[in-house]
Each structure stands twice: as structure tokens, then as C-alpha cells.
Structure 1
Amino acid sequence: MAILCAVDGTQPHESVVSTADDLARAYDDELIVLHVMTKDRFESRGQDRTEYYVDDAAREAREMAREAAADVLDSTDRVVARGRVGDPTAEILEVADRVSARYLVLGGRKRSPVGKALFGSTTQSILLEATTPVVTVMDEE
């Protein structure tokens, strides 16, 4: 089994990665850190380059996941970094199912009810749709 930790580039990831690492150590599971680049981000990055493919974006996302783990953990020997491109909710849930994740660890932040209604929430969608137990680490701010 594995502990899947999803990180993005918009909120602090220290407590999310640390919590996932604690779980991976407690269960002696593999720690997978995943970053999903959205389609919008992929398309905007592609406008800046003459040749930019989904594989390039997935490598970039994987590197962001690797950096998130390296920023927090003393050693990343046990960490598997993964990168995907697409809808974050769908991609995170698909990876969680594919790796038979014991837990899915992700960050959250407090938002107003209007903010949730207008913009949606990846964390909220995952909580509602996941078949894997989800650990949500709330942002301090």
C-alpha cells in the first residue's frame, strides 16, 4: 500500500508532506507525492514555448512534487514523485485508486460559503468522491 500526498503550487505544503510522511512511516508504506498541473496552466505554459507537450508538463509537475518533498523531508529516499496534467480532482482520485492508497493526504484552507459556491474546491470534491480515507491538513492562515 501507499500514502498519497497531493500538493499544489498555491498553498503551503510543509504540514501536508510532513503528515503524509508520518503516516507512511507509521504504516511502513511508500510515500507518493503528486502534483497535478491544470489544463489551463498547461495551455498557458505552452504559449510561452514553441514545443511544449503533455509529457513535458507531467515532468514539470513531477519535479514540483519532488521539490515539495525535498523542501520538507530530511531524506527523500522513500519518496516517489509523480506528476500529472488535467483536472486535479479526477487525477488525484485516479492515482489514489491505481496505487491502492491507504490514505490520501491533502491540504485545505478555510473559505467563505460564497467562495466555495462560486469557485468550487478540489479538497471538497475529493472529500465527497474519494473511496480512500482522506486526511485533510488545514492551512493555518
Structure 2
Amino acid sequence: MTVLVGYVPSPEGEAALRAAIGEARRRGEKLLVVNTTRGDALVDSRFAQEPDLTRVREDLAALGIDFDVRQVLGARDAAEEIIDLAERVGASLVVIGLRRRSAVGKLIMGSAAQHILLGADCPVLAVKAEG
């Protein structure tokens, strides 16, 4: 089986990655790191650049983790991509990072985390960044 982590280059993404590494080790499973964007914005801070992904690959290799890194550029939102990919790979767990948002922000923009929590067929571990 596989532990899937939704990764973004942010403190929340790093917290999710750390938690996912721990879960993959504890379970003896492969780690799938996923970074995705719709590609509909000129600048998307959640879309990892190559230096970010290179660092993630090097860190995971140094830790001896069995892993794969996928970057998805598609027409769907990140939550849908993660839910569908988790189902396709038979993920035993999805790990996501949470960030603090106001109630109005959630109402207007929606919540990818909430969509994943409610839509995934497997357990979801949601973590916050330290501090």
C-alpha cells in the first residue's frame, strides 16, 4: 500500500511531508508525494518549482524511504486530483497540511482540505505547521 501526501512548498506542506514520512516508515509502505495545480494562474505559490522537488527527492533518498514524486498540471482542482490519485494507487492514508483561514475566507474560496477530508475513501491525517 501507499501513503500519499499532498505537498506544497510551505510550512504546512513541510509539516505534512514530515508526518507522511513517519507514517510511511511506521507502516512499512511506499510514500507518494503529490504536488498539483490547475495551471490557470500566472503564479501559483502552491506549485513546487524544480529546486523544491529536487530537495524533497534528495531528502527522501537520504532517509532511505521508498518514494515517488508526482507533479500534476491539470484542469481539476488539487483536492479532486488527490482524491482520485489516492483511489487509483490504493492509498492506505492521505496526509495533508492545514493552514489557518477565516470563516469568510473558507466561505468564499472553499476548502481543499475539507474536500479531501470528506471525499477520500481512506483515512486522512491533517497536520498543522509548528508555531
Normalization by structure 2: what TM-score? 0.80
When residues 27 and 20 of structure 1 are mapped into structure 2, their CA distance, relative to the original with a 3 A threshold, is same
When residues 68 and 132 of structure 1 are mapped into structure 2, their CA distance, relative to the original with a 3 A threshold, is farther
Q: Is 2:21 aligned against 1:21?
A: yes
Distance 2:32 2:25 in 1: 12
The residue number in structure 2 matching 1:34 is 34
Corresponding residue to 1:137 among 98, 103, 127? 127
Contact 1:6 1:104 in 2 (8 A): yes
Distance 1:67 1:15 in 2: 18
The residue number in structure 1 matching 2:93 is 103
Shift of 1:109: 1.1
SS in structure 1 opposite 2:63?
A: coil
The residue number in structure 2 matching 1:52 is none
The percentage of counterpart residues that share the same residue type is: 32
Give structure 1 stretches of 5+ with no counterpart.
Answer: 46-59
SS in structure 2 opposite 1:4?
A: strand
Shift of 1:71: 7.2
Shift of 1:8: 1.9
Q: Is 2:69 aligned against 1:81?
A: yes
SS in structure 1 opposite 2:121?
A: coil
The residue number in structure 1 matching 2:56 is 69
Contact 1:13 1:68 in 2 (8 A): no
Distance 2:107 2:73 in 1: 24
Give structure 2 stretches of 5+ with no counterpart.
Answer: none
Shift of 1:137: 0.7
Report the structure number with the largest CA radius of gyration.
1
The residue number in structure 2 matching 1:48 is none
Contact 2:8 2:48 in 1 (8 A): no
